[in-house]
Structure 1
């Protein structure tokens, strides 16, 4: 038996950090949604008790360092599954990009194995399992659009943002989330984005107001280490994107565009800066 799962990328319309927690994590407020750039996973049951992962991408680990592998092992251990699984991962989301590609793969693995092995695990339980793998995994399990608090694992689903085009551009660098959070001094944050303002803009389906409400307090930290991020952001604004922001800890920058006619110009203009450029829609 085989099952197939799609693992979409996420973007942060808003990312705020409130304080450093005693457990070493940061207390955050994030508004996240998903876009139509996705990895695809094919899962096949194996009679022997093993986990095998393959991929066409030569740059990702295929062992226990892979979050999909970790997700499969976690669900096997938790529910005492004695059969194995072969997972083929068709990788489309760039790695270490601030788009939660690895987290979405882990979430898709949890959903897929829940179906493959007929475990009937409720969504809330799958999300709790996901939290053991990473802060973005619970959101990726359910998808949609949500306000995330705590370290990112506490989720409040909200309505979909106004539909628009999303241009994604990732410079040829890798960013460590751990490094960026390590360099963040919460007391030095000059301006915190407003969660109520963003929630109201989404509820009212006000695209312009949503673009104005976007903010990411990690952006200044990443830009200090990787100035290419600022160059891409400035280029995207110059080319006419309506709202521009870095996603997660970066380095991917996304631009929201309401008019389809603008998309080719922005897309082609960014191709001069970096190879990884995508024009996609929000998954509403």
Structure 2
């Protein structure tokens, strides 16, 4: 079985509180985007995991795909499989690539072995692997809150727009991102702000990580400003960085403006 775990962007990202468990409460819109890895899972004589493409840091035993299999295997009689991941979504880029890999592993195993695990059960498994893993089970635009693992549908569709994703090749750790953020309660609900026309988001739909990270990494505001210069209706950093995206109302002509970028129509294919 082959699946294609896609990435996501954050449209607005507010850090609204510090939790007793050490995590932070957030408010954000997670929006799926068509930049994907390739995941192959096949029945095998013994459990194995391999990868190609972009290098994945850490040892194999900690890989989220393998951990997803092991999590399901605790409760279900899963036969061994071979898992191969072709990694294309940049790591530490604010795109949720690793979380998507974990969620798609759960979905692929459910389908491959006819496990009949409901979407809600799949989400509960995914929540044990990472804060935004559960989002990728249904994989559609959501207003996300709590640690990012609670969500509700949001009436936001960018099917008439074009989205440009630019990755500058920076790895930004979670520790660095949160070091410069002071949680504060929202004055206006993000869902209300996103009902306004996209061109009005620029002044009100904010990623709280930008202020500090833009000081540390000047290339990030340079990319954001360049996207606006090229005609973006809205531009922002995704997640805790380092990918910056722009939303356009017509197909942009980027020429050689960015070294590592992708452009797609605003709906999953």
TM-score (structure 1 length as normaliser):
0.86
- SS of structure 1 residue aligned to 2:235: strand
User: Once the 2 structures are TM-superposed, how far is the Cα of residue 150 of structure 1 from its aligned partner?
Assistant: 0.7
Q: Distance in 1 between matches of 2:212 and 2:49?
A: 38
Please say if residues 168 and 277 of structure 1, whose CA atoms lie closer than 8 Å, have aligned partners that are also in contact. Answer: yes
- Equivalent residues in 2 for 1:232-271, closer than 5 Å: 232-260=223-251, 263-264=252-253, 267-271=254-258
Moved more, 143-152 or 156-165: 156-165
- SS of structure 2 residue aligned to 1:268: coil
Map Cα deviations across residues 245-272 of structure 1 (whole Å, 9 max, x no partner): 0000001100001112xx12xx33532x
- SS of structure 1 residue aligned to 2:62: coil
Map Cα deviations across residues 194-235 of structure 1 (whole Å, 9 max, x no partner): 41323424xxxx443456553211111221222221111112
Which residue of structure 1 aligns with residue 193 of structure 2?
A: 198
Which residue of structure 1 aligns with residue 171 of structure 2?
A: 174
Map Cα deviations across residues 53-86 of structure 1 (whole Å, 9 max, x no partner): 23233455561232212212211223242x2111
Map Cα deviations across residues 137-172 of structure 1 (whole Å, 9 max, x no partner): 011121110011111111102234232111111112
Matching of residue 165 in structure 1 with residue 154 in structure 2:
no
Which residue of structure 1 aligns with residue 21 of structure 2?
A: 23
Q: Distance in 2 between matches of 1:42 and 1:120?
A: 20
Matching of residue 57 in structure 1 with residue 60 in structure 2:
no
Which residue of structure 1 aligns with residue 64 of structure 2?
A: 67
- Equivalent residues in 2 for 1:99-114, closer than 5 Å: 99-114=95-110
Q: What is the aligned counterpart of 2:125 among 126, 129, 152?
A: 129
User: Once the 2 structures are TM-superposed, how far is the Cα of residue 27 of structure 1 from its aligned partner?
Assistant: 1.0
Residues 88 and 225 of structure 1: is their aligned pair in 2 closer, same or farther, counting only changes over 3 Å? same
Q: Distance in 1 between matches of 2:263 and 2:210?
A: 22
Which residue of structure 2 aligns with residue 92 of structure 1?
A: 88
Please say if residues 211 and 256 of structure 1, whose CA atoms lie closer than 8 Å, have aligned partners that are also in contact. Answer: no
Q: Distance in 2 between matches of 1:182 and 1:103?
A: 22
- SS of structure 2 residue aligned to 1:64: helix
Root mean square deviation, CA, Å: 2.1
Matching of residue 220 in structure 1 with residue 214 in structure 2:
no
Q: Distance in 1 between matches of 2:52 and 2:199?
A: 40
**More helix per residue:** 1
Q: How many residue pairs align between the two structures? A: 267
User: Once the 2 structures are TM-superposed, how far is the Cα of residue 19 of structure 1 from its aligned partner?
Assistant: 0.9
Which residue of structure 1 aligns with residue 262 of structure 2?
A: 278
Q: What is the aligned counterpart of 1:11 among 9, 12, 18?
A: 9
Residues 193 and 16 of structure 1: is their aligned pair in 2 closer, same or farther, counting only changes over 3 Å? farther
Residues 182 and 147 of structure 1: is their aligned pair in 2 closer, same or farther, counting only changes over 3 Å? same
